[in-house]
């Protein structure tokens, strides 16, 4: 099977998540092309499965992801496709945070006219080492409020890698059934 993974990243964690998906699909014998949305990725045409990922920052995804999907939504709607949304809020057990994530993703789909087969919320990372002073301060306040990690001398990864593998397996299964 031929897969395309297109992602947008701010601090690099969505790139790491995307690379994990590429490696796992490769282990299963699939041909995978991994592209940062900022690097002019190819059209979805000709791929059996397209996965697109972006991270939520201030209620929005990277503009490169939005631009890519808006440009290719017709092709995306004609191929098996999935979206993985990476955020710290996905690590929360708070219902309100999850509702907000679902609203952000739904608004993105409505705005771009894309209808993916599956949307997966993926817990991200708290990367204090990548933040400037102001962002580190703000993220520490948010983490404290949410009961998260507040020691700014380290980085904290909350991604559930087995859940992400299950997402990939489900997307491969959907793609096989559509053939």
User: Would you state the pLDDT for residue 91?
Assistant: 85
CATH number at residue 89: 3.40.50.360
* Residue 131 belongs to domain spanning: 126-158
Domain count, the chain: 2
Span 140-151, pLDDT tens digits = 988 887 778 899
Residues 130 and 145 in one domain: yes
Q: Which of 15-19, 25-29, 57-61, 101-105 has the lowest mean pLDDT?
A: 57-61
User: Model confidence at 40, in pLDDT bands (50, 70, 90)?
Assistant: very high
Cα gap 36→65, rounded to integer Å: 9
Residues 11 and 47 in one domain: yes
109, pLDDT greater than 80: yes
Average pLDDT for 71-99: 92
135 compared with 76, residue with greater pLDDT: 76
Residues 21 and 64 in one domain: yes
Residues 71 and 81 in one domain: yes
- E strands, the chain, are 2-7, 31-36, 49-55, 80-87, 118-123, 125-127, 155-157
Residues 103 and 139 in one domain: no
Q: What angle do CA 103, 122, 111 make, to 5 degrees?
A: 35
Residues 150 and 107 in one domain: no
113, pLDDT greater than 90: yes
165, pLDDT greater than 90: yes
Average pLDDT for 69-84: 97
Q: Which of 42-56, 64-78, 90-104 has the lowest mean pLDDT?
A: 90-104
User: Would you state the pLDDT for residue 84?
Assistant: 98
Residues 29 and 82 in one domain: yes
**Pair 5, 35: CB distance under 8 Å:** yes
2, pLDDT greater than 80: yes
Span 23-38, pLDDT tens digits = 999 999 999 999 999 9
Cα gap 33→6, rounded to integer Å: 8
């Amino acid at each position: 099977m031929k897969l395309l993974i297109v992602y947008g990243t701010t601090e690099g964690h969505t790139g790491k998540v995307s690379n994990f998906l590429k490696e796992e699909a490769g282990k299963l014998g699939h041909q995978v092309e991994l592209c940062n949305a900022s690097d002019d990725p190819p059209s979805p045409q000709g791929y059996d499965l397209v996965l697109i990922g972006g991270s939520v920052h201030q209620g929005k995804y990277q503009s490169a992801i939005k631009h890519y999907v808006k440009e290719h939504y017709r092709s995306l709607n004609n191929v098996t496709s999935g979206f993985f949304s990476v955020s710290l809020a996905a690590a929360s057990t708070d219902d309100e945070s999850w509702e907000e994530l679902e609203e952000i993703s739904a608004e993105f789909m409505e705005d771009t006219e894309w209808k993916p087969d599956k949307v997966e919320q993926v817990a991200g990372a708290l990367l204090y080492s990548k933040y400037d002073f102001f962002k580190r301060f703000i993220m520490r306040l948010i983490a404290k409020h949410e009961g998260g990690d507040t020691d700014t001398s380290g980085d904290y990864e909350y991604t559930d890698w087995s859940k992400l593998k299950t997402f990939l397996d489900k997307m491969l299964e959907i793609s096989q059934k559509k053939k």
